Amino acid sequence: MPKIEVPGKGTFEVASGTKLVLALEDNGVDILHRCGGVAKCTTCRVEVISGYPGVVNELEQTARQAKGVTDEHIRLSCQCFVHDDLVIKPLMTVSESGMEAGPRPAEN
């Protein structure tokens, strides 16, 4: 099973194919996902410190362009599926923003 490390939060294993935003949330990381995981708001952004989170799909590319996200290490966790070990830094969290997380994203 792949491992996700979140500096300051710990390391945890997740089932291969798990949506990254859900893996984070289900393991105590208070990641934002204001649009419910449909690649509209980009509040679920993470910095990929190491590992490969998969290819950028069309939905993610469109959202990244609309919000001016150009750094290749910044990904939308609602559009990444975990297949390999990752070290991730959430860029927007509930505790840091004071906002509500948003509706729970779908599993797929």
DSSP conformation letters of 46-71: EEEEES------HHHHHHHHHHT---
At 102 the three-state DSSP class reads coil
Determine the Cα–Cα distance for residues 107 and 75; give it in Å rounded to an integer: 18
- Domains by residue range for the chain, with CATH: 3-97 (3.10.20.30)
Residue type, 59: L
| Mean pLDDT (whole number) for 20-33 | 97
Other beta carbons within 10 Å of 2: 17
What is the pLDDT, as a whole number, of residue 82? 98
pLDDT tens digit string along 41-97?
999 999 999 999 999 999 999 999 999 999 999 999 999 999 999 999 999 999 999
Residue pair 86/39 in contact by the 8 Å Cβ criterion: no
